[in-house]
Amino acid sequence: MEQAQWMIPEETLDPPEAESFKFPFNPYPIQIDFMKALFTALEGRKLGIFESPTGTGKSLSMLCGSLTWLGKRDEAHQEHLERVVNSIDIEREETNAKGAIDWIQAQHQLRQKREVVNAARRELKYLQNLSDKRKKYLSRKSTLTLKTDKSLWKKNDKNLSGKQDNQKGDKESMEDDLDALILNDDFAPELCSDSDVSDGENDVEQEFYPNRIIFASRTHSQLSQFANELKRTEFASKVTTCSLGSRQNLCINPDVTKLKNLSLINERCLEIQKGSKGKKTSETKKMKGCGGCPYFNHILSEPMDIEDLVNTAKQLNACPYYASRKASKEAQLVMLPYNTILHKSTREGVGLKIKNSTLLLDEAHNIIESISNMYSTSITLGQLENCATGLKTYMQRYMNRFNSKHLLKLKQISFIIKALQKFIGGYDSNNKSQQNVFTIQEFKVEAGIDNLDIYELQTFIRKSKLIFKLKGYLIQKQKIEEKSAELKLKASEKQTPSETASRLKSKPNSKTTKTEKTQLDSKTQKAATENANPTLASPRPQSGQSIIGFAEFLKSLLTLDSGGRIIREGDVLKFLLLSTSDHFLDLLNSSRSIILAGGTMKPYDEVEDQLFQPAKERIFHFSCDHVIPDENLVCIALNRGPTSKLFDFTYQSRKTSDMMEELARTIVNVSKIVPGGLVCFLPSYDYETTLQTYLKKSGYLEKIEVKKKVFREPKGSNCDTILTEYSRQIKNSGGAVLFAVVGGKLSEGINFSDDLGRCVLVVGLPYPNVTSVEIKEKVQFASENFGKDKGSQLLANMCSKAVNQSIGRAIRHSQDYAAIILIDHRFSRPNQQALLPNWILKRFQVSDQFGHAIGSIAKFFASKKA
Per residue in 216-235, pLDDT (tens digit) is 998 878 888 888 889 889 99
CA 245 – CA 337 distance, rounded (Å): 7
Cis omega (within 30 of 0) on the bond before 830?
no
Indicate the DSSP class of residue 618.
G
**Residue 841's closest CA among 683, 625, 597, 640?**
625
Contact by Cβ (8 Å): 801, 366: yes
Cis omega (within 30 of 0) on the bond before 294?
no
3-class DSSP string for 107-170: HHHHHHHHHHHHHHHHHHHHHHHHHHHHHHHHCCCCCEEECCCHHHHHHHHHHHHHHHHHCCCC
CA 60 – CA 226 distance, rounded (Å): 8
Q: Which residues contact 357 (CB under 8 A, 6 or more apart)?
A: 209, 211, 212, 213, 214, 590, 591, 592
**Residue 682's closest CA among 723, 601, 737, 754?**
737
Contact by Cβ (8 Å): 356, 591: yes
**Residue 264's closest CA among 196, 191, 203?**
191
Residue 363, SS3 per DSSP: coil
Ranges of H-type helices in 744-829: 773-786, 790-807
Per-residue pLDDT at 840: 92
Q: What stretch of H or E contains 392? A: helix 381-398
Strand partners, 318: none
Contact by Cβ (8 Å): 335, 221: no
CA 217 – CA 599 distance, rounded (Å): 13
Round the CA-based radius of gyration of the chain to a whole number and report it. 33
CA 803 – CA 126 distance, rounded (Å): 50
CA 413 – CA 416 distance, rounded (Å): 5
Q: Which residues does the chain have with pLDDT short of 70?
A: 1-7, 90-107, 140-205, 260-263, 267, 273-303, 429, 432-433, 493-544, 866
| Domains of the chain with CATH codes | 378-467+542-580 (no CATH), 633-865 (3.40.50.300)
The pTM of this model reads 0.82
Phi and psi at residue 464, to the nearest 5°? -85, -5
Per-residue pLDDT at 135: 82
pLDDT in tens, 765-812: 999 998 899 999 999 999 999 988 999 999 999 999 999 999 988 888
Indicate the DSSP class of residue 646.
B
Indicate the DSSP class of residue 679.
E
**Residue 334's closest CA among 209, 228, 215?**
215
Contact by Cβ (8 Å): 416, 554: yes
